[in-house]
Amino acid sequence: MKIEDYLKSLEAFVDNAYGRQIRSQFQTIDGKSELAMLSSPSRDEYDQLSRAVAIMTTAEKNAAASLSDQQVERIAEDANVDKAILAIFFNGFALKIKNG
C-alpha cells in the first residue's frame, strides 16, 4: 500500500456523523480526540494530510512507514500542517503496513 492509497482510504470517513459521535465520547478534557482522527478525520484534518502528502518527495513517500520524527516535523512545517496530526497519520500508516 502506498501512502496516497492510505490517505484516500480515509476520505470516505471525512466528517462522518458516526465518527464524530465516537470522537466526542473519547475527547480529552481539552476537547481533543486526535487518535480518533484515523477513524473519522475532520475536513480540516484531511485537507492538512492531503497537503502534506502532496509535497512529499518520492523517496519520502516510499519510506513513509519509517520516517524519522525530524522528517515528519519538516514535512509538517513545509506543508504548514499540525505536527501531531501528521505524526498520527504516519503512525497509522506504519501500523496498517505492519498488520497488513
The mean pLDDT value of the chain amounts to 86
* pLDDT confidence tier of residue 17, bands split at 50, 70 and 90: confident
Confidence at residue 37, expressed as pLDDT on a 0 to 100 scale: 64
* pLDDT confidence tier of residue 28, bands split at 50, 70 and 90: low
State how far the Cα of 82 lies from the Cα of 96, in Å rounded to an integer: 21
Confidence at residue 34, expressed as pLDDT on a 0 to 100 scale: 55
| Identity of the residue numbered 56 | M
Confidence at residue 78, expressed as pLDDT on a 0 to 100 scale: 98
| Identity of the residue numbered 75 | I
pLDDT value at 82 more than 70: yes
Are the CB atoms for 53 and 7 separated by under 8 Å?
Answer: yes
**Residue corresponding to grid cell 484531511:** 46
What are the grid coordinates assigned to 63, written together? Answer: 519510506
pLDDT value at 35 more than 70: no
Confidence at residue 40, expressed as pLDDT on a 0 to 100 scale: 78
Q: Which of 44, 34, 48, 37 is nearest to 10 (CA)?
A: 37
pLDDT value at 12 more than 90: no
